[in-house]
Amino acid sequence: MNILEKITSAIVDGDNVKVIDYVEQAIKENVSAQDILNKGLILGMNQIGKLWNDGDIFIPEVLVAARAMNSGSEIIESSLLKSGVEPIATAIIGTVKGDLHDIGKNIVGMMLKGKGFHVIDLGVDVTKEQYLDAVKSNNASFVVCSSLITTTMNYMKDVIEYFKEQGFRERVIIACGGAPVTQEFADAIGADVYTADAVKLSEVFLDIVEVR
Amino acid sequence: MNLTSRQRVRLALEHKEADRVPIDFGAMRSTGISAIAYHKVKKYLGIETGHTKLYDIYQQLAEPEPMMLDYFHADVVQLHRLKPAFGVDILNWKAGVLPDGSECLVPLNFSPIEDENGDLIIMNGDIPMAKMPKGGLYFDKLYQPFKDCKTIEDIDRIPMPIISDEELDYLEKEAKRLYETTDKAILGTFGGNIIEKGESDWGFELFMMNLAMRKDLIHHYLKRLSTSHMINLEKYLSRVGKYIDVIQFGDDLGSQTNTLISVSMYREMIKPYHKMQYQWVQKNYPDVKVFLHSCGSIVKLIPDLIDAGVQVLNPIQLSATGMDPEFLKNEYGKDLVFWGGGIDTQQTLTHCKVEDIPSEVKRLIDIFKKDGGFVFTQVHNIQANIPPEKVVCVYESAYKYGSYDK
């Protein structure tokens, strides 16, 4: 097993300590930061996504893998910046106004990072103005609105309408998600993307980037 | 057959058909109704008497008044814990205001402070316990006392909750009052949460990760937690066991699409602590049925829950993956009483037209009512934005279609 395969395997095992060791070893072996990211860390998260889709792993295993991915990414972050490697796209994520539930939204953020996206997490109780400001200041092309409760999900429509009013609707892909949200609801409010879980959302976003 | 509510519920709990399917209107913290929606229902019905008590400040739920229970032919009342949420007791009341501006009674010691953003914060001394964002309808927990625990010694430094003598006196007096002054079945809210308590004590993500990575640490924490639960359970039932019909435990084990953890992790990390509590109740208080509230897609765990000692399952989240009512009734109807699943709140009640409700309620009652073993209620709390005509239609339909024709 070469060093990149070891990184991938350690991500799948959720072994934070080994990921750090292997990434540091790879740097010593002059493996580029871009290869560590794309051929080590991201491949590991791709395998996690497949295991999730197949129903072989659950939330605890996804979280430990994502934590390991983050640890590895942090080590190479400055090298990636220095070498001018750009993230594949920037996504703004947040739980909508009036709603403080962030479990699903956080997992979305982890899975998007696992695909190589730059993720700006606005947290919870996020207003439409905050979403748009973040899009403008980060030149983001994706927005993810999350809601857990039926009384807050209608705010997603307000976000979409606000982007229209401000002339930004066509510049971003807006995804909606959360337990009460369905494809029908997402269609009705004019969202671009709905998926039932975070892994699928990251896959759909990646497909969109690749088509562009 | 001329049955009291209590007799009707007891028959359902024994998997026998009564005169009609029993009805629960707001007798549990997940079969409840938002105080805002409750006000609207009263107004819609032209009821101008009485006072709404906001007994659950966390989810902003109303205590249904006797005339409302009678109106909806409800058969169950709740024996509350003394401090249902965030350490605020419900012994005394004062005038308060709901997020929509309507007036109600709130617990005397419920005094959230408004921060610079207009959010409401519930404090316990210097500790912020919960927050309702400006414009929001619920409080959410902020305090995670175990979030910095890295060793067994860290865990041992934090005390576990022990039920107070003050609460035991309150519980006994209140249970006796409900038993003697109503003919309703009594649902005793206990709790006994394992996975949910872990999530709130440690923070969801840390607890979930530690379930996978630090099994030693989590087993130690859960052993301490369940030891305190067992002490509390023995004390609780010694005072109220002769009055209550069901004892309510809670632990959400599912997400919208799957179980939160694998079946094997449930068996290893959570089930032993469920089983300890549930089987103790069955052995020592056979007339008190073990009721578990567990949201989400939990179908894969149901055989293990039955094995652990669950006798009554709620809420039967119809919109979650695999929670098919016909399958559940056919497969597990002999072992479980279904308490809930009467109408889906997340999709149907939120999006449907009033005229769609009767057929949906009838369809679900027809599935669940055979051979008893069913108590009608909607899948979860009725939210603030649900129009009153829908609420009235749900309960009128339940009464209309619940008959066993005897």
Which of B133, B257, B350 lies at the smallest CB-CB distance from A150?
B350
CA distance A150 to chain B (A): 7
CATH superfamily of the A3-82 domain: Methionine synthase domain (1.10.1240.10)
Contact B279, B309 (CB under 8 A): yes
Q: Which residue of A has its CA nearest to B207?
A: A60
Query: Parallel, antiparallel, or unpaired for β A142-146 and A90-95?
Result: parallel
Nearest to B259 among A58, A124, A149 (CB): A58
Out of B137, B205, B262, closest to residue A151 by CB: B137
pLDDT of residue B206: 97
Q: In which band, very low, low, confident or very high, does the pLDDT at A82 lie, cut at 50, 70 and 90?
A: confident
**Among candidate residues B98, B210, B240, the one with its CA nearest the CA of residue B147:** B210
Whole-angstrom distance, CA of residue B211 vs CA of residue B198: 10
pLDDT (tens digit, 9 = 90+) per residue, B53-92?
999 999 999 999 999 999 999 999 999 999 999 999 999 9
Q: Are B339 and B313 in contact (CB under 8 A)?
A: yes
Rounded to whole angstroms, how far apart are CA atoms B345 and B341?
A: 9
Average pLDDT, chain B: 97
- Least Cα distance to A146 among A171, A109, A114 occurs for A109
Which residue from B minimizes the CA distance to A152? B136
Confidence category of residue B266, pLDDT binned at 50, 70, 90: very high
Domains of chain B: 5-29+144-401 (3.20.20.210)
Inter-chain contact B350–A149, Cβ cutoff 8 Å?
no
Compute the average pLDDT of residues B272-281: 98
User: Which residue in B131, B208, B260 is closest to A100 by CB distance?
Assistant: B131
The model's pTM is 0.94
Give A94's strand partners: A145
pLDDT per residue over A129-147, tens digit each?
Answer: 999 999 999 999 999 999 9
pLDDT one-digit tens code per residue, B296-318 = 999 999 999 999 999 999 999 99
In 3D space, the residue among B199, B12, B171 whose CA is nearest the CA of residue B89 turns out to be B171
Q: For A90-211, CATH number?
A: 3.40.50.280
Is residue B406 scored above 60 in pLDDT?
no
User: What are the residues of chain A with a beta carbon less than 8 Å away from any beta carbon of chain B?
Assistant: 14, 55, 57-61, 63-64, 67, 97-101, 103, 106, 124-125, 149-152, 179-180, 182, 185, 196-197
Tens digit of pLDDT for each residue in B107-151?
999 999 999 999 999 998 899 999 999 989 999 999 999 999 999
pLDDT at residue A63, rounded to an integer: 95
A55, A61, A63 member nearest B205 (Cβ): A63
Q: Identify the closest residue of chain B to A149 by CA–CA distance.
A: B346
Quote the CA–CA distance of B178 and B52 in Å, as a whole number.
18
**Does residue A89 contact residue A142 with C-beta atoms inside 8 Å?**
yes
Computed over every residue of chain A, the mean pLDDT equals 95
Chain B residues near any Cβ of chain A (below 8 Å): 119, 131, 133, 135-138, 140, 204-205, 208-209, 211-213, 255-262, 265, 319, 345-347, 350-351, 383-385
The mean per-residue pLDDT over the stretch B213-240 comes to 98
Q: Give the ipTM of the model, two decimals please.
A: 0.93
Which residue in chain A is spatially nearest to B203 when comparing CA positions?
Answer: A103
| Alpha-carbon span B330 to B323, nearest angstrom | 12
Q: What six digits make up the tokens of A149?
A: 């409760």
Same topology, domains A3-82 and A90-211? Answer is no
Spatial CA neighbour of A106 closest among A88, A123, A86: A123
Is the pLDDT confidence value at A85 over 90?
A: no
Residues paired with residue B290 on neighbouring β-strands, in sequence order: B247
Kind of pairing between the strands at B61-63 and B53-56: antiparallel
Kindly list the domain boundaries of chain A, sorted by start residue. Answer: 3-82, 90-211
Contact across the interface for B136 and A58, Cβ inside 8 Å: no
Q: What are phi and psi of A209, to 5 degrees?
A: -60, -40
Average pLDDT over residues A2-27: 97
Longest CA–CA separation in chain B, Å: 62
